Structures are given as structure tokens and as C-alpha cells.
Amino acid sequence: MGKQKAQSGRSARGMRRVDLSSIELASSETARNINRDIVLEMIRSHQPVSRAELARLSGLQRSTISLIIEQLIEENWVREGAIARRPRGRRPTLLGLNEDLVVIAADVHPAQSSVAVVDLNGRLLSRSLVPLGADPAAAADLLSDCILRLREKFAGKSLEGVGISLPGRVDPANERLIFAPNLHWPDFDIKKAIEGRTGLPVALENAANACLVAELWFGRMEGVRNAVLITISEGVGTGIFANGHLVTGQHGMAGEFGHAVLDPQGPVCGCGMKGCWETFASCRAALHYYADLSHSSRTLTFQQLLSLAEGGDKHAIEALRLQAEAIGRGMRLILVGLSPEVIIIAGDVTTAWHRFGPIIEEHISRLTLAGPQPRLMPTHEGEVARLRGAAALVLQRRSIHDTGSGQLRGEPARRPRKRKKAQARQPTRKPVMELA
């Protein structure tokens, strides 16, 4: 077995690419899966593409490529399509992702859940809203009903599983929701309930971690080894990618910066403490600011608050400014604790980025202790990020399961990254071992 040492290069932005040197210690099975991931990613970014082109792009032998493609076709990830037109010689069959392979993604919030059908390219094929109450068993039933309806509606597609992003922490050991102060659900095995009703495999994860996985799977994280994704909605959650690994901590509880106390005299938080970051920085906090400023008892949604601000309502504008300042103040926790290269913000605030971006950026610039300040990025399309995240859980899990680790933790560093302009450049990662 020949060995090809992994390379660490520098991207155009001067950041270090994924360091795969430790992979030399990995089992050949892991290496085979990494190579398969790389090939899958190349198909995604170059489709339609021939086997010969994949061999050239990856540096793997033709025979290895053929074996990997055989496996990907058998597993339904990849399809053979058109025959390439060539002036002379052999006319290769072109490969592309199987667009008929879909997953159902659910993004759960305290009062409702979005449920979508998402394909392998991250496209949303349908989207529905399911109102949810305080009873998790009833919620599992309502979600199952919706999933079954969607399965019927998309009967022509191959349904891979269900990914659910939750406003709380999921214990990786048993995939049970163990901490969700804004959801107020008693302990309940939602995974088992939905799997039982639908017969489909279900993957659960914290919303911020799910969004982070989506950034790794579909997104813009090429070369990034240290990133923090912050979801701002009813609460504030973070997903941590440190030194190339998703960090979950004991029982999956890592990343609860939203419950770090900024002011012990502050408002009471869902966790029982006072003055947690999220009591100042969440969308719920913004609604409180607005109620105080406008002396109004009108019940608004955050979307309505955003609309009021766009319409020039000065109290709404001020409420959002206070929220943005509070988000910015909390950046200190992230910066001193984790020193990320990239900070990604997800949630409805990203749809009003002109209000939030500059203020958060200013705080980051002021609060960075030393070295270059992290890049600040909003996720695309607000809420869609969380649905893509839920979908990525299923896509990710399937691939990672095959490596024998049994779960996605710790593995995303080895996920293929989508390249913006991959055509003209070398692949991000070199295949680690020749398997011929």
C-alpha cells in the first residue's frame, strides 16, 4: 500500500488548510472513507464529471476511483448520467450526485417547527410549518404526521432519514435532549418516538452544532480550523469547531455561552440564573427592549419588530441596536475562550445584517486581545441555515457511521469542503492513502 503524505498548504487568504498529518495513523478503513468523502465532494463541485477527470483531480489511481464510484453508486449517493461528447476515442459516462436522494429536516423552536425536504445539494424542495406545544410526546406525533405526509408527497425520491435541530443540548451518548430551557419539555425520547412512528432513522442535534455541520458540509469553511457559530433566536447558542474538531464536551453540554452571566442583577433567565448573555442578546430580549421603550403591551414577533424598524419606527430601531450591542458585548466570551478564525452568526438577525453586522464587528475589533481579529460572517438566508443544518446531520451521520466512530463528533475536520472555484485549483485535501 503506497502512502501519500497529507499536505498542509496555504489558501489565498493565508490560512492553513486542514492538517491531515495525523491521518497517517488512521486505519485503512478510515482512509478509505476519507478518500470516498473527497471523491464525493469532487463530484459535488465538478458534476457532471468523468471517472478519468476524478482520477486526475484527486491524484488517486483509476482503479481506486472506480472502486469508490462503485460504492457510491451502490449506496445511492451518485448516479451515472450522460455520455460525454468527445471528438474521438472513448466517450466516458459522466457522474453526478443523485438528486433523488433527499432527507427531511426539522428545525424545532418553542412554538413551532419548520419541516423541509432537502436534497444532497442542500436545496429545499418543500417547506411546511408545524405548530408545537409544551408536550414533547404530542410534538413528536405532529412532527411524525408531517414527515409521513412528506414521504407520501415525495414518494418518487429516496428518503435517507430525518434530521432535527433543537434549541437545546443533546447528549451524544444516547441522543436525548438533556437541556432546553426555552423549550420547557420534560425528559422524553423524541428520537425513539419519531423513529417508531415513521420507521426512518432520526438524527438529533443542537441547532448551533447543526448549523456548524451544515457550514462544513455545504458551506464556506475551506481551510478553517477554528470557528464558532452563534445562533440568535429565542435564546443564544453556540457551536464550537476548535482545532478542526466539533467540540461537544461532557454530555454534549459545551457551547452554552448564552448562559454565561454578564450581570448578576439582570433579568431572570430560563436556566434559573439572572443576567445570562441571552437575556440581553436574544430576540426575546429585543422584544422586551421594544416593550419598555414604546410602553406598549402589544405582543410582537421578532419578524414584526424587524419590519417596524425597516418602516422607521424609532423604538424598534433602538431595540435592535440594544440587542446588537448585547450580542457584541458577549463576543468577549467567545474571543477569550476560543480564539476563533471565523465567527458565524445564524438566525433572523442575519436578515437585518446592516443593523447588526457593523455593531458586532466593532465589538470584535475592540475586544480581540492580540493577533488578527476573527472574520464575522452571517449565515445565508436566515432560518434556512437551520434547516440545512438539520439535513446535514443525516448526510454527515451516514458518512461518519461508516468510519466506525458511530457519531459525527470529532470528525467534521475530515469532511470535504465545498470549494468556491474548485475548477482551476488543486483539491483542498490530498487523498491520504492509495488503496490499490
- Binding region for Zn ion (CB under 5 A): 259, 269, 271, 273, 276
Question: Smallest distance, Å, CB 260 to Zn ion?
Answer: 8
C-alpha cell at 212: 456548524
- CB-nearer residue toward Zn ion: 270 or 389: 270
β pairing state of 227-232 and 202-206:
unpaired
- CB-nearer residue toward Zn ion: 276 or 283: 276
- CB-nearer residue toward Zn ion: 150 or 276: 276
Query: Integer distance in angstroms from the first to the last C-alpha of the chain?
Result: 7
- CB-nearer residue toward Zn ion: 235 or 378: 235
Q: Around 213, how many Cα atoms within 13 Å sit in the side-chain half-sphere?
A: 32
Question: Smallest distance, Å, CB 306 to Zn ion?
Answer: 24
All residues at 6 or more sequence positions from 160 whose CB lies less than 8 Å from its CB, including other chains: 101, 102, 103, 394, 395, 398
Burial group, residue 268, by CB count within 10 angstroms (0-12, 13-18, 19+): exposed
Question: Smallest distance, Å, CB 235 to Zn ion?
Answer: 8
Question: Smallest distance, Å, CB 240 to Zn ion?
Answer: 18
Question: Smallest distance, Å, CB 169 to Zn ion?
Answer: 13
- CB-nearer residue toward Zn ion: 69 or 269: 269
Question: Smallest distance, Å, CB 321 to Zn ion?
Answer: 23
Following DSSP, what letter does each residue of 303-365 receive, concatenated? HHHHHHHHTT-HHHHHHHHHHHHHHHHHHHHHHHHH--SEEEEESGGGGGHHHHHHHHHHHHH
Counting other chains too, the contacts that 419-424 makes at CB distance below 8 Å and 24 or more residues apart are 419/45, 419/222, 420/220, 420/222, 422/42, 422/45, 422/46, 423/46
- CB-nearer residue toward Zn ion: 17 or 259: 259
Q: Is residue 127 within 8 Å of 387, Cβ to Cβ?
A: yes
Buried b (16+ CB within 10 A) or exposed e, 345-358: bbbbbbbbeebbbe
Question: Smallest distance, Å, CB 284 to Zn ion?
Answer: 12
Please name the amino acid found at residue 266: G
- CB-nearer residue toward Zn ion: 210 or 276: 276
Question: Smallest distance, Å, CB 138 to Zn ion?
Answer: 26
- CB-nearer residue toward Zn ion: 245 or 251: 251
Q: Is residue 206 within 8 Å of 402, Cβ to Cβ?
A: no
